[in-house]
């Protein structure tokens, strides 16, 4: 079996130019220790690509990425893009184009970082392509319409296929962990949409008899995440609920710098994408917390290792995990947002040093 992976590097915007190189550096160092060969392919994207290629998402990007094993996508600061042709938000195109329907977002508390609770270790699996960001094949554009100047209609699309595939991804993760899955929805009000999502989750549950399933209504979940986050293991929910709850969960463990994510589907390609945005308020200062991006890259290498049966990738992910935990345990090798004294480069060096 080959130990060779081809991975794209797409920095994104603002702090993306600081944290994506950090993720590449750490992954490269871990790969070198395990004999994993990675062919890194930097690609233009975002504001800088608008200047060099006339588009924030240059033509041919999807085609090139489709031949790779995975890619690291830095945060995209699309709100600040100028209103010119070519300045587009690449996220939905990538998530939908590669059918990356499951956004796997772990939340873990590490001691001493200012987590509101200790002992949090949960994973939110967010449906990535439906809800209020529906697939272009189902509803044109973003799913928003303005039939008159005074009325806007935002369409929320839930399908059986979309619900059952993200449910299956969540059950598979639950099966590998504590065998507990919480369905988060609001079928008390959205009887058809959330109703269909819940129905499909229960249908998939029959394939996983060892996994215990419970349900929590989303507004109650917002409260319970703050009061007793330790009572959850794996959570699956629809797109917008997942978008909001994952940021809330990050707030419990030190903030958005602690919020990694991996977008996966049924195909072989994985996209490492932190939960947070491009943080323009701290960009260029060298102080961004690289954890979320480094951990996202680590999750991708681990997923590819299992998916392709590449022992060196699984091993690289494992030594990264230990090194990240070691660096987080020392204020001198963690950033200021998580009660440390290091800058981005210092934390990155700290993790690499801890690889052994």
Ligand X SMILES: NC(=O)C1=CN([C@@H]2O[C@H](COP(=O)(O)OP(=O)(O)OC[C@H]3O[C@@H](n4cnc5c(N)ncnc54)[C@H](O)[C@@H]3O)[C@@H](O)[C@H]2O)C=CC1
Ligand Y SMILES: CC(C)CC(=O)C(=O)O
Q: Residue 80's binding partner, choosing from ligand X, ligand Y, none, with beta-carbon cut-off 5 to 8 A by kind?
A: ligand X
Q: Which residue is nearest to ligand X (CB)?
A: 277
Instruction: Determine if 337 is a binding residue for ligand X (CB under 6 A).
Output: yes
Selected binder of ligand X within 169, 282, 327, 355 (CB under 6 A): 282
Nearer to ligand X, 242 or 305 (CB): 242
Find the shortest distance in angstroms from Cβ 332 to ligand Y. 32
Which of 17, 47, 78, 334: binder of ligand X (CB under 6 A)?
78
79 binds ligand X (CB under 6 A): yes
The item of ligand X, ligand Y, none sharing an interface with residue 66, based on CB under 5 to 8 Å by kind, is: none
11 touches, from ligand X, ligand Y, none (C-beta below 5 to 8 Å by class) = none
Under rule CB under 6 A, residue 279 binds ligand X: yes
What count of Cα atoms within 13 Å lies in the side-chain half-sphere of residue 196?
A: 16
Question: Exactly one of 131, 257, 260, 346 binds ligand X (CB under 6 A); which one?
Answer: 257
Task: Determine which residue in the list 105, 165, 186, 276 makes contact with ligand X, applying CB under 6 A.
Answer: 276
Tell me which residues in 75-94 interact with ligand Y (CB under 6 A).
91
By CB under 6 A, tell whether 277 contacts ligand X.
yes
CB of 212 to ligand X, least distance (A): 32
Q: Which does 243 bind (CB under 5 to 8 A by kind): ligand Y, ligand X, none?
A: ligand Y
Residue 169 interacts with which of ligand Y, ligand X, none, CB < 5 to 8 Å by class: none
Taking the least distance from each CB to ligand Y, the nearer of 77 and 346 is 77
Written in H, E and C, the secondary structure of the chain is CCCEEEEEEECCCCCHHHHHHHHHHHHHHHHHHHCCEEEEEECCCCHHHHHHHCCCCCCCHHHHHCCCCEEEECCCCHHHCCCCCCCCCCHHHHHHHCCCCEEEEEEECCCCCCCCCCCCEEEEEEECCCECCCCCCCCCCCCEEEEECCEEEECCECCHHHHHHHHHHHHHHHHHCCCEEEEEECCCCCCCHHHHHHHHHHHHHCCCCCCEEEEEEHHHHHHHHHHCHHHCCEEEECHHHHHHHHHHHHHHCCCHHHCCCEEECCCCCEEECCCCCCCCCCCCCCCCCCHHHHHHHHHHHHHHHHHHCCHHHHHHHHHHHHHHHHHHCCHHHCEHHHCCCECHHHHHHHHHHHCC
Rounded to a whole number of angstroms, the minimum distance from the CB of residue 196 to ligand Y is 21
Q: Please tell me whether residue 276 binds ligand Y under the rule CB under 6 A.
A: no
| Coil/strand/helix, residue 58 | coil
Site for ligand Y contains 243 (CB under 6 A): yes
**Among positive and negative, which fits the CA dihedral 254, 79, 103, 162?**
positive
Report the phi/psi class of residue 60: left, alpha or beta, with left for phi > 0 and alpha for psi in -120 to 50.
left
Between 98 and 208, name the residue whose CB sits nearer to ligand Y. Answer: 98
Residue 290 or 305: the one with the smaller Cβ distance to ligand X is: 290
Footprint on residues 37-56 left by ligand X (CB under 6 A): none
Question: What residues line the site for ligand Y (CB under 6 A)?
Answer: 91, 243
Question: What residues line the site for ligand X (CB under 6 A)?
Answer: 15, 19, 75-80, 255-257, 273, 276-282, 288-289, 292, 337
């Amino acid at each position: 079996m080959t130990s060779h992976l081809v991975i794209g590097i797409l920095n994104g915007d603002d702090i993306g130019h600081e944290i994506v190189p950090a993720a590449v550096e750490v992954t490269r160092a871990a790969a070198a220790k395990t004999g994993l060969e990675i062919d890194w392919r930097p690609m233009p994207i975002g504001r800088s690509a608008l200047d060099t290629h006339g588009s924030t998402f240059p033509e041919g990007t999807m085609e090139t990425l489709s031949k790779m094993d995975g890619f690291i996508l830095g945060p995209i600061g699309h709100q600040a893009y100028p209103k010119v042709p070519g300045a587009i938000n690449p996220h939905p195109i990538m998530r939908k184009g590669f059918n990356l329907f499951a956004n796997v977002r772990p939340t873990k508390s590490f001691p001493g970082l200012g987590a509101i609770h200790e002992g949090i270790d949960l994973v939110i699996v967010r449906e990535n392509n439906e809800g209020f960001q529906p697939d272009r094949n189902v509803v044109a554009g973003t799913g928003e319409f303005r039939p008159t100047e005074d009325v806007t209609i935002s369409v929320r699309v839930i399908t059986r296929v979309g619900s059952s595939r993200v449910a299956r991804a969540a059950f598979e993760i639950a099966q590998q962990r504590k065998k507990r899955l919480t369905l988060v929805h609001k079928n008390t009000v959205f009887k058809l949409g959330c109703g269909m999502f819940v129905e499909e989750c229960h249908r998939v549950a029959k394939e996983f008899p060892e996994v215990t399933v419970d349900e929590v209504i989303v507004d109650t979940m917002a409260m319970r995440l703050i009061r007793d986050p330790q009572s959850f293991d794996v959570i699956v929910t629809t797109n917008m609920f997942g978008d909001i709850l994952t940021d809330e969960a990050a707030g419990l463990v030190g903030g958005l710098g602690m919020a990694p994510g991996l977008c996966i589907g049924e195909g072989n390609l994985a996209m490492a994408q932190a939960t947070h945005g491009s943080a323009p308020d701290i960009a260029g200062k060298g102080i961004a917390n690289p954890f979320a991006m480094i951990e996202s890259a680590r999750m991708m290498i681990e997923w590819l290792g299992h998916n392709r049966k590449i022992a060196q990738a699984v091993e690289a992910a494992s030594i990264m995990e230990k090194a990240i935990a070691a660096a987080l345990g020392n204020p001198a090798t963690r950033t200021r947002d998580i009660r440390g004294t290091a800058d981005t480069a210092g934390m990155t060096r700290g993790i690499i040093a801890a690889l052994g």
